[in-house]
Amino acid sequence: MNDPFATLGVEPRFGLDLRAVEQRHRELSRTLHPDRYAGAPAAERRLALGRAIEVNEAWRVLRDPIRRAEALVALAGVTLREEAAPKADPAFLMEIMELREELSEVARKKDRGRLAALAGQVRAREEKALGALGALLDSGGDDAKGAAKDVEKALPHLAELKYFRRFLDEVSAIEEDLTDALP
């Protein structure tokens, strides 16, 4: 993967001013727009198009906290392979299992109040995990070695975030179902 931070010319860190990054994406997209290359040689047009695609993809990566974190992990030279990923803490998995069971119960009963409460609970956990993840990814460590260690320590938080996201995707799907079912 290309370095999305370099593509958009922003500092490689987790805590980013997303509005500034979006602005940067917009400016670059404008300069690379095909209309500006209408009279240019074919090779140049192709290059601009390729670069425009890269710029769009970089913005999609950076705006998503999970993908942004994964890009930083990759930049730190840590490979993220499923088999190599640290095993989730059993207590955490148990909690996710219980939350998922409760969620399916809530969906069955069409209990909107409980659904909102569950979603709120998981969103709060997500916020906390994002905070911990950001602090570790942006710590800089005492030196390069310390920074790499902090990236390793950030991995469990990144894994937790995926379980939370999966849960919240499920919440959205249930909300949609409930809305469709309205008379």
Partner 1 sequence: MAYSEKLIEHYENPKNVGALDKEDPEVGTGLVGAPACGDVMRLQIKVKDGIIEDAKFKTFGCGSAIASSSLATEWLKGKTVDEAETIKNSMIAEELNLPPVKIHCSVLAEDAIKSAIADFRSKQSARRTLASEPEAQGATPRAAE
**Residue with Cβ nearer partner 1 (22 or 102):** 102
Structure tokens at 25: 């994406």
CA angle 66, 118, 126 (to 5 degrees): 20
CB of 93 to partner 1, least distance (A): 5
Contact predicate 99/42, CB 8 Å: no
Q: How far apart are CA 112 and CA 48, in angstroms?
A: 49
CB of 157 to partner 1, least distance (A): 11
Q: Considering only CA atoms, which of 57, 80, 72, 54 is closest in space to residue 16? A: 72
CB of 170 to partner 1, least distance (A): 8
CB neighbour class for 160 (10 Å; exposed up to 12, middle 13-18, buried from 19): buried
**Residue with Cβ nearer partner 1 (148 or 159):** 159
**Residue with Cβ nearer partner 1 (23 or 104):** 104
Residues that bind partner 1 (CB under 8 A): 82, 85, 88, 90, 93-94, 96-97, 100-101, 104, 159, 162-167, 170
CB of 122 to partner 1, least distance (A): 11
**Residue with Cβ nearer partner 1 (51 or 100):** 100
Structure tokens at 153: 């320590």
CB of 88 to partner 1, least distance (A): 5
In eight-state DSSP terms, residue 83 is: G
**Residue with Cβ nearer partner 1 (19 or 87):** 87
